[in-house]
Amino acid sequence: MNSSRLFLSLLVASSFLSGCQTQAAEPGQRAAKARKVAVAADDGGEFANFSQWRDVSAFIDDMVVRHGFSRPELENVLARVRFVDSAIQLMKPAPPGRPKNWAAYRARFVEPVRIDAGVAFWNDYGDALNRAEQQYGVPPDIIVGILGVETVYGRNKGNFRVMDAVTTLAFAYPDTPTRTARMEYFRGELANTLLFARESGIDPFSLRGSYAGAVGWPQFMPGSIRSYAVDFDGDGKVDLRNSPVDAIGSIANFLVAHGWKRGEPTVFPANLDASSGNGWEMFLNQGLEAKFRLDEIRTAGIRPTVEPPADMLFGLVDLQNGGAPTEYWLGANNFFAITQYNRSFFYAMSVIDLGRAVRAARGG
């Protein structure tokens, strides 16, 4: 590799904290690692002649058979792709470090810069946010929270060519226990990039995003763009990089497609009753869904401090706090809908808390 390779800036790395429907990496770990390797906003990559790789040739064959692409066309496209080593480095597992710390994580996102920017964004795009709530049932504070965590309201969208990022990760993912599955995932995203470009009539190399291929204000992966992005500003095209209104509608549509229910709450604070034994432990690590009745939860010694509706299902959310006591919450269905955006309790709670803080700062 060329010793002069460029790496992502910390802000761009932070903009992909969600992994946007990509993986369950803890954003704090990814950002900490990025601080060590990131020095620039764009990695031009290096020539690798991907079109000559055996696995790429098999991928081209599949795209020709399944989607009707021309082999010479795809060979020419993939010959233009550049290898992005910084994407490989940032996908490597972070070394073991300190225990998870919710308070420290939250402080990175629920902070004055994002709150002030969120107020300005809400003021500027209040009509679109209200329209999204009317159409999809997703409140403005949730959409504002996601956009604040993802890209600080469009400030940190990333400037990598998506084709370079997803191709590199599809065929040269680092050696990790999940390498095979992750390469398969990114090959799917490479296919989606090519399909989206064809469907939209654009040059696939015109798409810019994070080091892992996430695009625009909401950091949607190409597959999510094709499945969930909407033309919410009515200009006849989906443009998540340049249209915050499209981003607003697309986030709402994504959440509804992943289980968001109009008018339902997200979380309720809870405590553990030490006198009830360890029965509550059975509710830990039970997946990203609300599936337990309130009476089951109470019987195990989990006590909500704000009374939730008795007819809803919940999951136990544990927010580890380093050496301090763990915070516990009861996550309702809509909380777990947010985790489909990023498979992390920390992420979902930071979205909720940032949205609440912005709403409060506006006087709402």
Query: What is the Cα–Cα distance from 308 to 170, expressed in whole angstroms?
Result: 44
φ and ψ at 82, to 5 degrees? -115, 145
What tokens appear for 260 in the block? Answer: 């968001």
Closest to 328 in 3D by CA, of 282, 277, 267: 267
In Å, what is the CA distance from 70 to each residue of 1, 105, 112, 162, 170?
31, 47, 51, 21, 20
Query: What is the Cα–Cα distance from 141 to 160, expressed in whole angstroms?
Result: 29
The DSSP annotation for 7-57 comes to ---HHHHHHTTT-SSS----HHHHHHHHHHH---S----EE--GGGSHHHH
The DSSP annotation for 243-299 comes to -HHHHHHHHHHHHHHTT--TT---EEEEEE-GGGTTGGGGGTT--SS--EEHHHHHH
Query: What is the Cα–Cα distance from 249 to 232, expressed in whole angstroms?
Result: 5
128, 174 in Cβ contact below 8 A? Answer: no
Catalytic residues: 150
Query: What is the Cα–Cα distance from 346 to 356, expressed in whole angstroms?
Result: 15
Query: What is the Cα–Cα distance from 42 to 176, expressed in whole angstroms?
Result: 25
Query: What is the Cα–Cα distance from 299 to 248, expressed in whole angstroms?
Result: 41
Query: Across-strand partners of 315?
Result: 331
- Taking each helix axis as running N to C, give the angle between helix 162-172 and helix 54-67, from 0 to 180 degrees, rounded to the nearest 10: 120
